[in-house]
Structure 1
Amino acid sequence: MLTGEDTRQTVQMVQHLACTCGCTIQPSDCTQLQDYVAEDCKCTCKRREVCSPDKIWDSSKCKCTCIQQEGECTTGLFYSTSSCRCERAFKRLERKSTSRPPYNSNRNPDSYWKSRREELEQQDIN
């Protein structure tokens, strides 16, 4: 209650004895692709590449990245961030028959199966 009289109160105050300046970004914030620059308080890329026309330099990742980060692709395709375009979701597998030897009139089927069996046995050993 204010009465217009002078009053005295005890108030607790925090007293800082020392202040220091420091960087928000520290060397531990840098990646293996970056060096820490103390006078600028930042991480910079160790090397820089020239990007292709469909990519831009990303200084936080220290690599070229697609200008378009995501793309809509038709069924069976996906957007590749390495090529910056739609690619086949499944690459064609190498044709390798396991049910019969490949047709080759100069090759004996028995020798094919013998070499195939040795190849599989070698894989089992490894």
Structure 2
Amino acid sequence: MKSFTGFFFLLFCICSCDFHETQTSRDCIYSAIVVDLTGMDGCGFVFQLDNGDYLEPVWRWGWCGTPPLPEGATEDPLWNFDYVDGQRVRLGFETAEEGGSICMVGEQVYVTCLEVIGEEAVSVRIE
């Protein structure tokens, strides 16, 4: 009887785990639109994935741009990226573990790959 109870306890523990897999990739496999949310408190430009989810890009090296720059900063995909509202892009990303968002429209991410694939597209706005 103990092994039977132990089996069900183990089964319960396994079934109660959250196996939700976050969408992440270092390769440019996700299509998105650049959306300008600068009119909302604490927001700037975000990426809206084709499934409607929003990604808030954060810079891996903090916010201070005074010299000397951290090693690798100029290789970051966002280093010289020109945000244009409605622009179509392909991107890869990793979830940013630290920090909180003032904007709170989507998940904060480190962009690992970024390619412009079109100049303008229709974007859905958050009102």
Q: TM-score range with shorter-chain normalisation?
A: under 0.3
Task: Give the greater-gyration-radius structure (CA).
Answer: 1
> What TM-score do you get using the length of structure 1 for normalisation?
0.20
Of Structure 1 and Structure 2, which has the larger fraction of its residues in helix? 1
Of Structure 1 and Structure 2, which has the larger fraction of its residues in strand? 2
